[in-house]
């Protein structure tokens, strides 16, 4: 059965007709061509499909598109704006925290949600927050390091911002996840 | 997923209950169990009634006796960090944070974890230990099910068809229990428990009251009153005796996560450790 | 002349930006018009005769566009041994064996139609274990084995379940054993495990109206896919085109050919339509491929000095239902059977056995982690039994310059230094024999060695060309599925031509119509083979640029060098930027010389020689060896059996570190994957039904962030590889080889127990500890020396 949904995806209002059984993941990928969230298991075990739903990290394979109606969705595509990367994206690059890249979008999205909740996470905080994002390539070490590094950068930027130096060029969608 | 699947999102409990009267209707909370089960063909509801738009089900609020009522739609991620939970019912937070992974707990709910009636439900042991009450509503009316009567077998609960869990209530009398949820699993993060043992002790009351509850070692989550009494009578000095009693009381099976024998022995080890840590 | 600064430095991944932004496209991300979806009818029996397959009902279902089965496509495929058809024809050999497939307008319709395909089976007795498989009178999994096409260096035994047998006969094993001071025999086992790439297998195919086949696929080897598809369907290579976009991990599971034939078979029956075959995570576990199981029996005879004199290695590989690829693992494990050690007298047998289990195939390490699990525990046991320090015992017996491998190849001084790797990790973990011991805390070490296991003529090639602004484009067909190939290719080229890495674009998602040939991305061979081809290409480019610039500047080309993006004549200080040369140089009077500068170069390993068919002796059976070692410190909870890896050190002789960040990533990743197979992974097959019992991520656990050791220390030795690009040699697979054995050895050090069958689960440790306690109490004494217990 089809339902009409209205939601905001990466800051853009979207209205669409979807089958009730369509997951948010499939809607984002097939309906909106946002293929950054990946299908790795379709049962909430791998985390490759992670997106933010009203700022919370969720496995989009376990959310029906109809459940997301009226809500805000942020995907990996919404974390950067034109050429301005999210600090996590920069840190993943500089820490060699990427290999095949399939888990990377989900990993960054989960980490973004963590840093929003805990700007200064401990090693244990990072490991626990990312335990639902499986990676078979990296051994996680450089990913965890990248998250710490991005956290430090974001704290520094926030304190500079507090002194009246507005974070110029910061992508709009970042506000939502880093604010 | 069937192409004629329907989806409804009522905004009141009464509306939700009325909708359930149509055969083939399933409640939808976090969906973290239901959706994989539907995809695997183990469940095939014709319509889903989403409970997450019912305002009252999102609350964690204090109740008259000083306890807490946790609405059915509150995600576990909120339960585990809620200041009142951490302050007065820390055992629930201990257990809640072991369910799945953090993002999964943004969707998974306490009520959903209960309704599955999984023998391995981590939060169930806390609720057993804290003598929670499950508030349910149906077209017949509302009632409260004491948690000790809730679990009937693997996947079986005392819920009647059409009954909706609206909240789980932690009684004020259970506030202040401290302790730990000791849990073995194949990997450290995001895994079902092979064995889960909760040992708690009241804070400030004399004589101390104890709580011992187990996950994944019987057809239902278990609370071991006899073991608690032993500890209440003799204190942590009786940890080994308590361990032995718990070992004998559990009824584990062999499955992919571990053998019955190993599980039984681990119940003993973990009960002893839990008791000693509270000595 | 080689500039410096781009090799050995942390150049960020050239594909990184695409991967962090979500721009990188994997096969399932590609859009196709009016895509058809696939469902496969799979055998529910581990072994059965297929009597009849009826597809009419399925074909009549609305939305169904094609239904195909075994009778439609009888040709065999397989990279080394052609023992598999697209669909089972007369016989199914494992639960999951494809029998038929449906292409339909929706995934739901495809599934429904697949359920309408009726198959009549006559069950046959299955075999699951290698011991059953080699027994006389065992049911034959492949009665037609003798008729299969096979490469000359693989030796299946007709009328048996043995799909390959490699024999090593070096020196005089029997006499050496008889003359040994002490002899030790032990058996070790490794179960089947799955690769679990985060991206499941997926292939999309179309046969256009003119009959040309086009495939987009998540694969490690586009040209091998093309080659095998052509053979399988009787097509010209010229009419098969394979694209590989970004690949979400493979670890060997996407080597050779996998889903592609089924997608193509369906596409042939609905020309003009794109057909996508995407397995779900459950099918990924049991119906793609798995790592082979191993039963290893080792006999070691030592003299009084601790030198091994006689070594017997008997490896029985559980190849599962098909061995097309696995037969070469059997071979590789044979010629590497002695690991990182010099054994003067050897009897080695590596035997591949068909069973009715999921299909064994390549998996990171290609048999090496499995044999090292056995060999490195054996070395430890022998050392301790004769009262030697395991580190000293390893150093005494280690391979090195002037010493001969089991095939009689004498290593030279460029071969790599396992001794330095051993010392590095032993020092890091603190393994000195006089160390203070803490109960239930232990330290263990294991070595690793591997050579590329590939045909002797496995080649790589590259095309290098310039854009008008002197951006250098490099076309490769090696796949960067995470290891960093695109980045190191850019580094090599930038270094050789002294241009910024940012001016290089590596076209790393190949298309067989346009990309230069590459055999396969396997065997830790890409940095080395493609890297060599790139350096050759850079040299050709340099020569062309200098020729044109020499003419333009009126100086001899031999006096010109490339520096900072220009061709420079140092004596006069004159120079020309590359942008003025790459499309040809135009003189002030208007006449032009040169022309678009490009190169096409290749690399093929030189001087490799076949093994002797009876003894496997060969002076150069493989291109290179990479040696390394890992040491770990663990703690054991004696009551629960839980093992925690506290620290781990890894050291490899990689010849040359090209990119420190990437190579550390390879090492961390290998360690953690090794920890997974070592401690938690096993694909369980129910021996009553043949079904995989834990074919999901819920039931089959791989390590998550929380399982990673608190400390991983990574070190590298750089003994330049003589034929390696700037001295580099392969490392991708080696990083996961020694981890499980090192943990097993640490477990013995911690509490005197041995787990002979991977994985080392808490319950196995708990049982072994209980058994040890029971044995001690029966003997009436507390064990002063740790007793050896086999769980």
ipTM of the complex: 0.97
Shortest CA distance from A55: residue in chain B: B106
Domains of chain A plus CATH, in order, are 2-75 (3.10.20.30), 87-178 (1.10.150.120)
Q: What is the rounded distance in angstroms from the CA atom of residue B151 to the CA atom of residue B132?
A: 13
Q: What is the pTM of this model?
A: 0.97
Find out whether A49 and A152 touch, Cβ atoms under 8 Å.
no
In tens, the pLDDT along A66-97 reads 999 999 999 999 999 999 999 999 999 999 99
Task: Give the best residue of B186, B193, B259, B272 to mutate against chain C (max C CB count within 10 A).
Answer: B186
C-alpha distance from A58 to closest chain B C-alpha (Å) = 5
Q: Give chain B positions within 8 Å (CB) of A59.
A: 32, 103-104, 107
Point out the residue among C12, C31, C482 whose CB comes nearest to the CB of A100.
C482
> A touches which chains (3+ CB pairs under 8 A)?
B, C
Q: What is the pLDDT of residues A111-157, one digit of tens each?
A: 999 999 999 999 999 999 999 999 999 999 999 999 999 999 999 99
Q: Is A134 on the interface with C (CB under 8 A)?
A: yes
Neighbours of chain B (3+ CB pairs under 8 A): A, C
CB pairs under 8 A, 24+ apart, for C787-791? C787/C752, C788/C381, C788/C748, C788/C752, C788/C753, C788/C754, C789/C752, C789/C753, C789/C754, C790/C186, C790/C754, C790/C755, C790/C756, C791/C753, C791/C754, C791/C755, C791/C756, C791/C757, C791/C764, C791/C765, C791/C767
Chain B residues close to A53, C-beta within 8 Å: 106
Q: A171: pLDDT confidence band, cut at 50, 70 and 90? A: very low
Assign 3-class secondary structure to C385-410: HCCCCHHHHHHHHECCCCCECCCCCE
Q: Hey, are the CB atoms on A131 and C13 less than 8 Å from each other?
A: no
Evaluate if residue A179 carries a pLDDT over 50: no
Inter-chain CB proximity C701 and B186 less than 8 Å: yes
Other Cβ atoms within 10 Å of C61 Cβ, number: 17
The verdict on a CB contact (< 8 Å) between B192 and C762 is no
Q: Hey, are the CB atoms on C251 and A141 less than 8 Å from each other? A: no
The position carrying tokens 């960020």 is: C12
Mean pLDDT of B207-213: 96
Residues 34-73 in A contacting C (C-alpha not used; CB under 8 Å): 34-43, 45-46, 48
Closest alpha carbon to C252 in C149, C155, C328: C328
Half-sphere exposure at residue C680, Cβ-oriented, CA atoms within 13 angstroms: 25
Closest CA to B43 of B33, B53, B51: B33
> Is the model's pLDDT at B111 over the cut of 90?
yes
Q: Measured between CA atoms, how close is A146 to chain C, in angstroms?
A: 12
> Taking a C-beta distance cutoff of 8 angstroms, is the pair C75, C233 a contact?
yes
Residue B200 is inside which H or E element, if any?
strand B195-201
Phi first, then psi: what are they for C318, rounded to 5°? -90, 100
Q: Is the pLDDT of residue B6 over 50?
A: yes
As to burial, measured by CB atoms within 10 angstroms (0-12 exposed, 13-18 middle, 19+ buried), residue C683 is buried
Q: Mean pLDDT, chain B, as a whole number?
A: 96
- Closest residue, chain C, to B195 (C-alpha): C640
Asked if the Cβ–Cβ distance from B189 to C707 is below 8 Å, we say yes
CA distances from A30 to A14, A26, A92, C246 (A): 14, 6, 27, 19
What pLDDT is recorded for position C54?
98
8 Å CB contact of B189 and A131: yes
CB C36 within 8 A of CB C276: yes
The reply to whether residue B186 touches residue C680, judged by beta carbons under 8 angstroms, is: yes
Report residue B175 CA to chain centroid gap.
Answer: 17
A113 → chain B, closest CA residue: B103
Q: What is the rounded distance in angstroms from the CA atom of residue A61 to the CA atom of residue C254?
A: 25
In angstroms, the CA B242 to CA B238 distance is 6
Neighbours of C102 (CB within 10 A): 30
Quote the radius of gyration of chain B (alpha carbons, Å).
19
* C8 CA: distance to closest CA in chain A (Å): 14
Q: Which helix (H) or strand (E) holds C479?
A: none
- CA A53 – CA A28 distance, rounded (Å): 12
pLDDT band at A172 (very low <50, low <70, confident <90, very high): very low
Q: Do A59 and B189 touch (CB under 8 A)?
A: no
Q: Residue C435: its pLDDT value, please?
A: 95
CA distance C749 to C632: 11
Domains and CATH numbers, chain C: 16-24+458-603 (3.30.365.10), 32-124+201-278 (3.90.1170.50), 290-454+610-779 (3.30.365.10)
| Alpha-carbon gap, residue C207 to A131, rounded angstroms | 43
Three-class SS state of C358: coil
| C-alpha span between C426 and C380 (Å, rounded) | 14
Q: How many residues does chain A have?
A: 179
Which residue(s) pair with C754 in the sheet? C790
- Local structure of C574: helix, strand or coil: strand
Q: Which residue of A has its CA nearest to B32?
A: A62
Strand order in the sheet with C308-320: C162-170, C345-354, C308-320, C293-302, C182-190
Residue A176 has pLDDT above 70, yes or no: no
Return the pLDDT at B206: 81
Q: Are strands C308-320 and C293-302 parallel, antiparallel or unpaired?
A: antiparallel
Taking only the tens place, the pLDDT of each residue in B220-261 is 999 999 999 999 999 999 999 999 999 999 999 999 999 999
Domains and CATH numbers, chain B: 6-50 (3.30.43.10), 56-173 (3.30.465.10), 177-277 (3.30.390.50)
- A42, A94, A103, A137: best mutation site toward chain C, by most C Cβ within 10 Å? A137
Confidence of residue A177 (pLDDT cuts 50, 70, 90): very low
Counting as low any pLDDT under 70, the low residues of chain C are: 1-4, 781-791
Residue B215 pairs with which residues in a beta bridge?
Answer: B196
Q: pLDDT value at position B203?
A: 85
| pLDDT value at residue B1 | 79
B265 touches chain C (CB under 8 A): yes
Chain B positions touching C762 (Cβ under 8 A) are 184, 186
A132/B7 CB distance under 8 A: no
Q: Which residues pair with C441 in a beta bridge?
A: C635
């Amino acid at each position: 059965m089809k339902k009409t949904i209205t939601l905001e995806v990466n800051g853009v209002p979207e209205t669409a007709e979807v089958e009730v059984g369509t997951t948010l993941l499939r809607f984002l990928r097939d309906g909106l061509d946002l293929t950054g969230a990946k299908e790795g298991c379709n049962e909430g075990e791998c985390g490759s499909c992670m997106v933010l739903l009203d700022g919370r990290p969720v496995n989009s394979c376990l959310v029906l598109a109809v459940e997301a109606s009226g809500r805000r969705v942020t995907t990996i595509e919404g974390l950067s704006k034109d050429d301005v990367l999210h600090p996590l994206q920069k840190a993943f690059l500089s820490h060699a925290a990427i290999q095949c890249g399939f888990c990377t979008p989900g990993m960054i999205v989960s980490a973004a949600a963590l840093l929003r909740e805990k700007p200064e996470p401990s090693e244990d905080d990072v490991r626990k927050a990312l335990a639902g994002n499986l990676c078979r390539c990296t051994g996680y070490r450089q990913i965890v390091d990248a998250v710490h590094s991005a956290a430090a950068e974001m704290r520094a930027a926030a304190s500079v911002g507090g002194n009246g130096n507005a974070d110029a060029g910061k992508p709009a969608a970042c506000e939502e996840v880093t604010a | 997923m069937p192409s004629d699947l329907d989806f409804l999102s009522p905004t009141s409990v009464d509306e939700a209950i009325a909708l359930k009267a149509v055969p083939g209707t399933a409640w939808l909370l976090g969906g973290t169990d239901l959706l994989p089960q539907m995809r695997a063909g183990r469940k095939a509801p014709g319509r889903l009634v989403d409970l997450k738009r019912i305002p009252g089900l999102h609350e964690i609020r204090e109740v008259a006796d000083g306890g807490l009522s946790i609405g059915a739609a509150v995600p576990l991620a909120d339960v585990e960090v809620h200041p009142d939970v951490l302050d007065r019912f820390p055992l629930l937070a201990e257990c809640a944070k072991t369910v799945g992974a953090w993002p999964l707990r943004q969707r998974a709910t306490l009520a959903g974890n209960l309704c599955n009636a999984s023998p391995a439900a981590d939060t169930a042991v806390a609720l057993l230990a804290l003598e929670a009450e499950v508030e349910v509503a149906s077209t017949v009316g509302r009632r409260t099910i004491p948690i000790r009567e809730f679990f009937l077998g693997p996947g079986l609960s005392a819920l009647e068809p059409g009954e909706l869990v609206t909240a789980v209530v932690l009684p004020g009398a259970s506030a202040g229990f401290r302790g730990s949820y000791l849990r073995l699993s194949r990997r450290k993060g995001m895994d079902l428990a092979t064995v889960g043992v909760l040992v708690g002790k009241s804070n400030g009351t004399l004589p101390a009251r104890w709580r011992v509850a187990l996950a994944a070692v019987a057809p239902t989550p278990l609370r071991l009153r006899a073991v608690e009494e032993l500890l209440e009578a003799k204190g942590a000095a009786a940890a080994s005796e308590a361990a032995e009693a718990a070992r004998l009381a559990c009824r584990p099976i062999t499955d992919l996560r571990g053998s019955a024998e190993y599980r039984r022995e681990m119940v003993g080890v973990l009960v002893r450790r839990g008791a000693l840590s509270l000595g | 002349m080689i500039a410096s600064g781009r090799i050995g430095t942390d150049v960020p991944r050239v594909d990184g930006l695409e991967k962090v932004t979500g721009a990188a496209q994997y096969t399932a991300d590609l859009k196709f018009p009016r895509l058809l979806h696939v469902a496969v009818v799979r055998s529910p029996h581990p072994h059965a005769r297929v009597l009849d397959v009826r597809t009419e009902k399925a074909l009549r279902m609305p939305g169904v566009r094609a239904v195909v089965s075994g009778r439609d496509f009888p040709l065999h495929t397989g990279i080394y041994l052609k023992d598999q058809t697209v669909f089972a024809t007369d016989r199914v050999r494992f639960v999951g064996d494809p029998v038929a497939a449906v292409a339909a307008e929706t995934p739901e319709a495809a599934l429904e139609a697949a359920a309408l395909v009726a198959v009549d089976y006559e069950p046959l007795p299955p075999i699951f274990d290698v011991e059953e498989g080699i027994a006389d009178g065992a049911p034959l999994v492949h009665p037609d084995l003798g008729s299969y096409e096979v490469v000359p260096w693989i030796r299946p035994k007709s009328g048996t379940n043995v799909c390959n047998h490699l024999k090593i006969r070096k020196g005089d094993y029997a006499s050496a054993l008889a003359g040994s001071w002490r002899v030790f025999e032990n058996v070790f086992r490794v179960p089947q495990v799955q690769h679990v790439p985060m991206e499941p297998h997926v292939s999309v195919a179309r046969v256009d109206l003119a009959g040309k086949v086009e495939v987009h696929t998540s694969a490690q080897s586009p040209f091998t896919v093309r080659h095998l598809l052509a053979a399988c369907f009787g097509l010209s290579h010229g009419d098969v085109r394979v694209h590989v976009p970004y690949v979400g991990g493979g670890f060997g599971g996407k080597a050779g050919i996998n889903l592609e034939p089924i997608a193509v078979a369906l596409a042939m029956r609905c020309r003009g339509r794109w057909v996508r075959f995407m397995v779900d995570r459950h099918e990924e576990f049991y119906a793609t491929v798995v790592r082979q199981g191993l039963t290893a029996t080792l006999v070691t005879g030592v003299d009084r000095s601790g030198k091994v004199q006689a070594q017997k290695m008997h490896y029985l590989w559980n190849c599962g239902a098909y061995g097309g690829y696995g037969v070469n693992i059997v071979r590789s494990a044979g010629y590497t059977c002695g690991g990182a050690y010099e054994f003067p007298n050897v009897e080695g047998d590596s035997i591949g056995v068909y069973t009715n289990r999921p299909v064994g195939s390549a998996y990171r390490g290609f048999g090496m982690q499995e044999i090292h699990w056995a060999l490195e525990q054996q070395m430890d046991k022998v050392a301790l039994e004769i009262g030697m320090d395991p580190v000293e015992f390893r150093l005494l017996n280690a391979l090195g310059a002037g010493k001969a491998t089991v095939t009689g190849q004498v290593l030279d001084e460029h071969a790599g230094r396992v001794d330095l790797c051993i010392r590095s990790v032993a020092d890091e973990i603190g393994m000195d024999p006089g160390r203070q011991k803490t109960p239930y805390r232990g330290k263990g070490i294991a070595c690793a060695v591997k050579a590329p296991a590939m045909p002797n003529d496995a080649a790589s090639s590259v095309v290098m060309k310039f854009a008008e602004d002197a951006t250098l484009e490099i076309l490769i067909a090696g796949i960067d599925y995470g290891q960093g190939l695109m980045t190191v290719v850019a580094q090599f080229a930038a270094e050789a031509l002294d241009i910024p890495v940012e001016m290089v674009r590596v076209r790393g998602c190949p298309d067989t119509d346009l990309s230069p040939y590459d055999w396969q991305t396997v065997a830790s061979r890409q940095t080395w083979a493609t890297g060599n081809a790139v350096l050759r290409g850079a040299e050709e480019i340099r020569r062309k640029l200098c020729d044109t610039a020499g003419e333009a500047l009126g100086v001899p080309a031999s006096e010109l060098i490339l520096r900072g993006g220009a061709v420079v004549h140092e004596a006069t200080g004159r120079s020309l930027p590359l942008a003025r040369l790459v499309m040809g140089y135009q003189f002030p009077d208007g006449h032009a010389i040169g022309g678009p500068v490009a190169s096409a170069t290749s690399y093929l390993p030189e001087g490799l020689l076949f093994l002797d068919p009876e003894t496997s002796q060969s002076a150069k059976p493989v291109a290179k060896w990479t040696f390394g070692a890992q040491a770990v410190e663990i703690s054991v909870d004696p009551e629960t059996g839980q093992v925690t890896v506290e620290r781990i050190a890894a050291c490899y002789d990689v010849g040359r570190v090209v990119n420190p960040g990437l190579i550390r990533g390879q090492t961390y990743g290998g360690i953690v994957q090794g920890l997974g197979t070592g401690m938690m992974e096993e694909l369980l097959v129910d021996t009553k039904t043949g079904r995989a019992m834990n074919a999901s991520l819920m039931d089959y656990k791989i390590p998550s962030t929380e399982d990673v050791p608190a400390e991983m220390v990574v070190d590298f030795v750089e003994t330049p590889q003589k034929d390696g690009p700037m001295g580099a040699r392969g490392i991708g697979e080696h990083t996961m080889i020694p981890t499980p054995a090192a943990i097993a050895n640490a477990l013995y050090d911690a509490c005197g127990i041995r787990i002979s069958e991977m994985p080392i689960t808490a319950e196995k440790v708990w049982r072994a500890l209980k058994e040890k306690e029971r044995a001690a109490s029966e003997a009436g004494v507390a064990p002063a020396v740790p007793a050896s217990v086999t769980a």
